[in-house]
Chain A
Amino acid sequence: MNIQYLFKELYHRRRRTLTAIFSLAVGLAILITINALSMAYNKASRIPLKEIGADITVQRAGNVPEDLTGPVFACSAVTIKNDEIKQIQQLPGIDGFAQALLLWVFDEDRFTIMLGIDGENPVGPGTLRSEVIDGNFFEKGKHQALAEISYARTYNIQTGDQITIAKKTYMISGIVDASRATKIAAANIYLDIDDAQKLARESKQIQAVSPFGTKDANILFIKANSSHIEALTLSIKNILGEKASVATPASFLKSLGSLFALSDKFSLATSLIALIVTILIVLKTMAGNLAERANEIGVLKAVGWSNKNIASQLAGESIIQCLMGGILGLILSFIAASLLGLIQVNIPIPWEMSPTPHFLPGGGDPVFKTLQLPVTISWSLTAFSILLSVVVGAVASYLLSNHISQIKPSEVLRNE
């Protein structure tokens, strides 16, 4: 292959070169952008759960509380029995596990959402430890609690204050800004799960609707490898029955509603179409190139170039063009990704995952996690695109090399 000849061909036949480069660049840019967008929606769908340090949350729907006084369960989160919890914990594929207890507490002067959590557990709401903005995280066994900042402002609660909820008194050890961390299982007061379990056990309203035992809970947080999530979901539903409510990245992806979010198959199909169209355009350009240069190929053969010499020269041109197309396609993709990254998506948080009674102000309002679409082009996608462009060039030239051998110098030179 003669590099000097190669670059002169590319430079002096600019229209043909640019057509090939731009065709491939646009096709690749579409391919990369669709995949990046699809991955971005997938990534976005993991964020609400990731923020609370889990990949799966589990609840069980139940009956609406009949008497809204004192501690009650929201109808979306009734008792998950201790033996069921143990069964779930033993399922294969679980990397981390935490349980929590969400309570609505109707006192005479206020309504409070309380979440009993295992503060030592890095899975689930224990991650709020890093969101304490004043004071300290509560200490186990000392009847301490954390107040959420907006609730603290509303009721003028400060670190060190004593508050009484459901006739129990807790010392506020600190103020937490949970809004930055999560929209899932958001509460007004966070306390130790043992304290919350005691409240639930002693609540006649809870026991009337959903009997509650010593070690029971009503929300489970599970960390698992993404390859196990689907199987775990099925197993959990088998254990908890048809009223089980299991939230996973896939369920959030569905709630996003985007075409890209709805179906990996759509992304795959669109990518394949873009790829096939790109290859066809490149092949057509190369075939046109070959037809246009039949006379030149005849001359090369006449002056002693072998078919292999000519094929490698044209393959070099083809691969360089495709490589340039690949690089331009990547640049276009990075520009497209930057622009798409400006899009804000609202991920709807199902009411049952952060329930507030409907009759309270804002109780029926939809809750969203708003974030900028995390569109990024990974190194693997970058490497794949460059490799793909080179392969397209190589395949195109290989397919056309047979035509080169069929060009007879005497015929093209006679018909000149």
Chain B
Amino acid sequence: MNDILTATGLNKAFDNLQVVKDVSLTIQKGEFVCLVGKSGSGKTTLLSVLSGLEQPTSGEVTINGTSITNSLENDLALFRRKSIGFVFQSFNLIPTLSAWENVALPLFPVKMDREKRKERAMELLGQMEIDHRAEHRPSALSGGEKQRVAIARALVNYPEIIFADEPTGNLDSETSEAIMNILKHLHKQKGLSILMVSHDQELAASCDRIIHMKDGEVIS
């Protein structure tokens, strides 16, 4: 089996508002897929459901053969820590921690030497070419630097898949391109599976596959 993610008959409603409607999709290992749609089309909600941040109203999600639907919250958290990396539009770094500590954040609940944690974080910051900023806090970093730190954090646990929600949404075009290049590099060189949400058709064009959403449904 070559599928990293399988979703079947997914529905998500908030009270009477149906946000995701009967979505079924598959992402293969090593595939870079972009979920495209207008604002309010339900793509971020679908990403949340697919990544286990949100439970679907109905349907099932399987990641690398493990069903994450109806799992207990703490089990889901552990699963996310082991198998999933997240990159958010607003970076979501912890303001009180330095760059390397933010990268190592998913490792904090894991029994591990501080030095080993730092070593792993520094390795990833090095890959992101930002290791010289390791001791700086987010407030001292530019937008592009923050997103590189966030990508490094997403990679720290050797995830099976990365979910990226508008990772270039808060960046200028030049920095956006640099971040996209990093994601493409990770995909090509390391064979990482990536599901990215974007409303930018131009960025989406560089992905392996594009999934279009409209009014909560996958239309192509």
Residue of B48, B54, B80, B97 near A303 (CB, 8 A) is: B80
Question: In the complex, what residues of B have CB within 8 A of residue A301's CB?
Answer: 53, 77
Cβ contact within 8 Å between B108 and A305: yes
Known: A4-B101, A13-B96, A416-B90. A410 touches B108 (CB 8 A): no
Listed in ascending order, the chain A residues whose CB lies under 8 Å from chain B are 2, 4-5, 8-9, 11-13, 295-296, 298-309, 405, 408-410, 413-414, 416
Of the candidates A9, A307, A414, the one having the most CB atoms from chain B within 10 angstroms of its own CB is: A414
Residue of B53, B80, B94, B153 near A296 (CB, 8 A) is: B94
Instruction: Report the bound CA distance from A50 to B202 in whole Å.
Output: 93
Known: A303-B80, A410-B54, A414-B48. A5 touches B73 (CB 8 A): no
Cβ contact within 8 Å between A416 and B44: no
Question: In the complex, what residues of B have CB within 8 A of residue A308's CB?
Answer: 74
Cβ contact within 8 Å between B48 and A8: no
Cβ contact within 8 Å between A306 and B92: no
Instruction: Report the bound CA distance from A296 to B86 in whole Å.
Output: 14
Distance in angstroms from A257 CB to nearest chain B CB is 54
In this complex, what residue of B is CB-closest to A300?
B105
Instruction: Report the bound CA distance from A8 to B48 in whole Å.
Output: 30
Instruction: Report the bound CA distance from A413 to B101 in whole Å.
Output: 20
Cβ contact within 8 Å between B96 and A410: no
10 A-B pairs with least C-beta separation: A304-B81, A12-B96, A410-B48, A410-B53, A410-B54, A303-B106, A306-B74, A309-B109, A2-B108, A299-B92
Question: In the complex, what residues of B have CB within 8 A of residue A303's CB?
Answer: 80-81, 86, 105-106, 153
In the assembled complex, 12 residue pairs joining A and B whose CB atoms fall closer than 8 Å, in A order, are A8-B101, A12-B95, A301-B53, A303-B105, A304-B106, A305-B81, A306-B74, A307-B73, A307-B77, A413-B92, A414-B45, A416-B88
Of the candidates A11, A303, A405, the one having the most CB atoms from chain B within 10 angstroms of its own CB is: A303
Listed in ascending order, the chain B residues whose CB lies under 8 Å from chain A are 44-45, 48, 53-54, 73-74, 77-82, 84, 86, 88-90, 92, 94-97, 101, 105-106, 108-109, 114, 137, 153, 157, 165
Cβ contact within 8 Å between A299 and B73: no
Distance in angstroms from A399 CB to nearest chain B CB is 20
Question: In the complex, what residues of A have CB within 8 A of residue B86's CB?
Answer: 302-303
Question: In the complex, what residues of B have CB within 8 A of residue A300's CB?
Answer: 105
Cβ contact within 8 Å between B109 and A409: no
Question: In the complex, what residues of B have CB within 8 A of residue A11's CB?
Answer: 96
Of the candidates A13, A302, A405, A408, the one having the most CB atoms from chain B within 10 angstroms of its own CB is: A302
Cβ contact within 8 Å between B114 and A4: yes
In this complex, what residue of A is CB-closest to B157?
A304
Cβ contact within 8 Å between B54 and A302: no
Question: In the complex, what residues of A have CB within 8 A of residue B79's CB?
Answer: 304
Distance in angstroms from B39 CB to nearest chain A CB is 12
Question: In the complex, what residues of B have CB within 8 A of residue A302's CB?
Answer: 53, 80, 86, 92
Question: In the complex, what residues of A have CB within 8 A of residue B45's CB?
Answer: 410, 414
Distance in angstroms from B72 CB to nearest chain A CB is 10
Instruction: Report the bound CA distance from A8 to B217 in whole Å.
Output: 44
Question: In the complex, what residues of B have CB within 8 A of residue A12's CB?
Answer: 95-96, 137
Question: In the complex, what residues of B have CB within 8 A of residue A296's CB?
Answer: 94
In this complex, what residue of B is CB-closest to A412?
B92
